[in-house]
Amino acid sequence: MRLAELAAALDLSAPAVNPEVTGVTHNADWAAPGFVFVAIRGARFDGHQFLDRAAQAGAVAVLGEGLPEGVTSPLPYLTVPGARAALADAAAALAGHPSRALRVVGVTGTDGKTTTSWLTRHLLRAAGLNTGLLSTAGYELPDGQLRHFPAHFTTPEAPQVQATLAEMVAAGAQAAVLEASSHALALDRVRGVAWSVGVWTHLSPEHLDFHGSMDRYFADKRRLIERSPCAVLNVDDPWTAQLRGVAPQEITYSAEGQHADWRAGGVEERSTGLHFHVVSPLGEFDAQLPMIGRFNVANALAALAASAHLGASVEALRSGLASFAGVPGRMQLVPDTRGRRVIVDFAHTPPSLDKALSTLRATTPGRLLVVIGSAGGPRDPGKRAPLGEVATRLADHAFFTEEDCRDTPLNEILAEMERGAREAGRSNFTRVPDRREAIRAAIAQAQAGDTVLLAGKGPEDTLERAHETLPWNETAQAEAALQDEAPR
């Protein structure tokens, strides 16, 4: 694509020069010959500081909201109303708008996004649609192989999103499921995606350091529903009332017996997983889902509703649910030969930890132990004490440890978690700063019939400390701890 074509796609005046454009980025270190560099004014840096670096890397033009006073551009400069929007629109244009060739399901909410996304992907495949996936656990082409981005984003930046969608199309995908985080929506990372269905799971306080308030957090997530021709809405969530009528078409669901298009009843937790009865526009049927946790019934209903909207039959939905293998790091069972249950889960907010521990408590004959930490930096420091309270209220013993402490002293984080426990009158916790040692300590303390929950890291593949980032696999850490215990 020539620069003039890209400018026309962005509704900009024709530039004086017309070089070939091969890509777009907002990171000067990622620029390459033929790239357009987007100068974004961020909270910490202004992209205009890096114009020379982008030019040296071979960039051919700059998009920005206007040159700062005293700054000159070594490259042709095209002024845009919004830099992030321009980054997304340029990425979509350069990729050939791949989402227009797909039926795209977007999933947003505080909790349940990943499980709902993976379930929807699985159900669509069961219905015969070649389906790709982009989630926090990685991305998949229709071949089903899980891949990871090098950058640590909940959702990658717009160029990576568009390139991945194009890769899906090239691999023969007919549909795609995207997990849309609040950051991705607020920062226009998924702008330019042609949604077919927008799914709303649930809203609770999270990332308020970024959004500033619950109202702003809600408004950013609401963008998915505003941009979707069909919305799948959870009527059990109080925030849903503000979403009714926003999308041209809407489908509702309820796991708590409220009136909705899709609803569940007769929920039973058995050794084989969840069993429940579904009432839907397609008729009534019995369903089985091999997962732990009654809250996953809501995720299943959301996935069922979205998949049915895209044409999945009752037979495909039933068989798809029954054959679902689960999500890496989401209530993932680690095999143990000593009669204990070791589970890896991503629960890292007080509500999600409450759900996870309450679920496991109901199905644990022995003691319930939990390993939990809290992220450092400015990321929701207010949740550290509540996490300590929830962990010690619902578990028999909690091991407070690290979880991406970053630039915040780990002892400061752990002290806050301990304060939450002590102010609730509890002392059933142990501080073990090293996460590897905390996992080993919890497993060593567990006996037959006990359950150990390793909470917070889930499928993440790094552990961030103050001055280093370590490769990390929570499941592998648990397996190693269990192996070291094995008789030799």
Using CA atoms, how far apart are residues 148 and 134, in angstroms rounded to an integer?
Answer: 10
pLDDT at position 154: 45
Is 155 annotated to bind ligand? yes
Side chain identity, residue 383:
K
Amino acid, single-letter form, for residue 378: P
Ligand-binding site membership of 154 (annotated): yes
Reading the block at residue 429, the tokens are 């916790």
387 and 350 Cβ atoms separated by less than 8 Å: yes
Architecture of domain 97-322: 3-Layer(aba) Sandwich (3.40)
pLDDT of residue 488: 40
User: Does the annotation list 110 as a binding residue?
Assistant: yes
pLDDT of residue 460: 86
* The predicted structure's pLDDT at residue 267: 95
Write down the pLDDT at residue 475.
Answer: 92
Does 115 carry a binding-site annotation?
Answer: yes
111 in a labelled binding site: yes
CATH of domain 3-94: 3.40.1390.10
| pLDDT one-digit tens code per residue, 313-338 | 999 999 999 999 888 888 888 888 89
Nearest in space to 25 (alpha carbons), one of 56, 62, 52: 62
260 with 302: CB under 8 angstroms? no
113 in a known ligand binding site: yes
Question: In this structure, is the dihedral angle defined by the CA atoms of residues 318, 319, 320 and 322, taken in order, positive or negative?
Answer: positive
Q: Are the CB atoms for 441 and 412 separated by under 8 Å?
A: no
């920062």: which residue's tokens?
187
C-alpha span between 247 and 176 (Å, rounded): 20
Domain extents in the chain: 3-94, 97-322, 332-485
**Residue 109 annotated in ligand binding:** yes
* Secondary structure class of 298 (helix, strand, coil): helix
Q: Which two tokens stand for residue 210?
A: 């970024």
Chain mean position to CA 428: 31
Just give the CATH number of 332-485: 3.90.190.20
Distance from C-alpha of 162 to C-alpha of 176, rounded to nearest angstrom? 12
Is 131 annotated in a binding site? The answer is no
- pLDDT at residue 487 in the model: 52
**Mean pLDDT, each 10-residue run in order, the chain (488 residues):** 97 94 96 97 90 97 96 96 97 98 96 92 97 89 84 70 97 97 90 97 75 86 97 96 97 95 93 89 95 90 98 97 87 87 92 92 92 83 94 98 93 96 98 98 96 93 90 94 74
Q: Two tokens at 324? A: 């679902």
Q: What is the pTM of this model?
A: 0.78
Residue 336 to residue 349: CA distance in whole angstroms: 27
Identical topology for domains 97-322 and 332-485: no
> Tokens at residue 176, please?
């795609």
Site of tokens 């397609």: 282
Structure tokens belonging to residue 453: 């929950």
Give the per-residue pLDDT at 137.
74
